[in-house]
Amino acid sequence: MVPSGPLKRASRCAMDVLILGGTGVISVGIVHQLLARGASVTIFNRGRVSARLPDQVRQLRGDRTDRAAFERVFEHSRYDVVIDMICFTPEDAGSTARAFGGRCAQLQLCSTVCTYSTQVPPQVLVDEAWPQEPETRYGRDKVACERVLAQAAAQRKFALTIVRPSQTYGPGGPMLDQLEIDGVAWDRVARGLPILCAGDGLGLWQALHRDDCGKLFAWAALNPRTYGEAYNATGPRVLTWRDYHREVAAALGARARLVFAPAGWLLQRQPARFGFLRDVSRFHGAYSSAKARAHVPEFMATVGLEEGARATIAALRQRGGQRDGATDLEYQRLVDAALLAGFPMEHA
Ligand SMILES: NC(=O)c1ccc[n+]([C@@H]2O[C@H](COP(=O)([O-])OP(=O)(O)OC[C@H]3O[C@@H](n4cnc5c(N)ncnc54)[C@H](OP(=O)(O)O)[C@@H]3O)[C@@H](O)[C@H]2O)c1
């Protein structure tokens, strides 16, 4: 049963929220937005990721893959909202349902836009009604998580809200390029070296700063309009990969020189390395978040890509996480081969 009692929807709101995760890229954005709403925030994680969070955030330590211990931690707990940021398999979802069924009013699941088919809809932007026929194991498992939790919600164990982000970036995480999630592209751009881009760089993409993404979770909390709903969480702008590379390069005070090679050519040479290109970025990645903005008007993107990328890459460099582009000879050999094959090089 959904715990009874008044639902406390208000701009500032004294609610108890638990985040499974809590120190990750998106989680930190959610924590800040929830605190701004006046919520009491508890996070649960293993304590491996260090994130500077305000002192009032309560921290619980544990590993969710130790199912029995995880479920015992919450046996006698009650939260208004539980946000599951680390649910990747139906087994995770089943464990979440057991741990929090009847122990929270609302369960928010962080899913992904990778749950959708990669076909392009007639109106181009993928909305929440688009078929969930994912390309990847990751996407298929997330669909399974959604279904397990939807079943628990149908049994009135909690109200379920599903959020499906696309690329969400921010300090503490990587700054992806079209080929790699955590690659050498930005270090090469900073050094004035050309980088690889698939096709003509005209594939569509969206990027959202984690502080903006955090607003959707935080303002969907105890908002009855969001119960039983799923939302794409993307920025309002649709970019081409040329736009994306140009704006992130500008954050470095540089111009990106792009060598355009067909995706198939790149994947033939580096199938394992360019898994992100193979599974995700060779397809259009453009989604409508109109429904999220209609139901949760506070979900407004205010952090520009250049500004957000600047802080993200600065944090990456500060913690020594930026891969060295100058010594990556494999990448350079690929650039040389692409130029030798006659593929064009242009400024983004
Ligand atoms: N960023 C994107 O572009 C994007 C796009 C679509 C969907 N998503 C979804 O966003 C979610 C990730 O959210 P995020 O960015 O906040 O997280 P994140 O950066 O992936 O960090 C993971 C968080 O979970 C904790 N954690 C990991 N394994 C754990 C375990 N076994 N037990 C307990 N805690 C554990 C980590 O801390 P410890 O390591 O210290 O435990 C950390 O707090 C995922 O569900 C992902 O599918 C992200």
What are the pLDDT digits (tens) for 235-280?
989 999 999 999 999 999 999 999 999 999 999 999 999 999 999 9
Domains along the sequence of the chain with CATH: 16-169+207-233 (3.40.50.720), 185-206+237-285+305-347 (3.90.25)
Prediction pTM value = 0.96
Q: Which residue has the tokens 């959904």?
A: 2
What is residue 82's predicted lDDT score, i.e. its pLDDT?
99
Pocket of ligand 1 (CB under 6 A): 21-27, 45-49, 63-65, 85-86, 110, 112, 165, 167-168, 173
pLDDT, tens digit, for every residue of 87-117?
999 999 999 999 999 999 999 999 999 999 9
Q: Residue ranges of the chain with pLDDT lower than 50?
A: 1-10
CA of 338 to the centre of ligand 1 (A): 36
User: What dihedral do alpha carbons 328, 334, 335, 340 form, nearest 10°?
Assistant: 140
What is residue 309's predicted lDDT score, i.e. its pLDDT?
98
What is residue 9's predicted lDDT score, i.e. its pLDDT?
47
What is residue 236's predicted lDDT score, i.e. its pLDDT?
87
CA of 85 to the centre of ligand 1 (A): 6
What is residue 12's predicted lDDT score, i.e. its pLDDT?
67
